[in-house]
Amino acid sequence: MRGEVLKPDNIEGTGLILGEDGQRYQFTQLQVRNDAVLHAGQTVDFISMGDEARDIYALGARAVPQPAAPQPAYAGAAPDVPASAQPDYVAAVPLKSDGLWTYFVRALTKNFAQFNGRARRAEYWGYTLFAILAYFVLFVIDAFLSFAFYGTDQFGEPQFIPILVVVFWVYNILPSISITVRRLHDQDISGWLYLINLIPYVGGLVLLVFMLLDSKPATNKHGPSPKYMGQTTVDTFN
Map out the domains of the chain as residue ranges.
Answer: 2-65, 100-212
237 — phi, psi (to 5°)?
-85, -15
Q: Which CATH superfamily is domain 2-65 in?
A: Nucleic acid-binding proteins (2.40.50.140)
pLDDT at 91 (0 to 100) = 55
Q: How many Å is the Cα radius of gyration of the chain?
A: 25
pLDDT value of position 119: 94
Asked if residues 31 and 55 have their Cβ atoms less than 8 Å apart, the reply is yes
The pLDDT of residue 69: 56
pLDDT of residue 86: 47
Nearest to 34 by CA among 19, 50, 18, 45: 45
Tens digit of pLDDT at every position of the chain (238 positions): 888 888 887 766 678 888 888 888 888 888 888 878 888 888 888 888 778 888 888 886 544 455 555 655 544 555 555 544 444 444 567 888 889 999 999 999 999 999 999 999 999 999 999 999 999 999 999 999 988 887 777 677 778 889 999 999 999 999 999 999 999 999 999 999 999 999 998 999 999 999 999 998 889 999 898 888 654 443 333 3
User: What pLDDT score was predicted for residue 231?
Assistant: 42
Structure confidence at residue 21 (pLDDT): 83
The answer to whether 176 and 131 have CB atoms below 8 angstroms apart is: yes
Q: How far apart are CA 138 and CA 136, in angstroms?
A: 6
Q: Say whether 24 sits in a helix, a strand or coil.
A: strand
pLDDT reported for residue 191 = 93
**Which pLDDT score, from 0 to 100, does residue 232 have?**
40
pLDDT of residue 47: 86
pTM above 0.75, yes or no: no
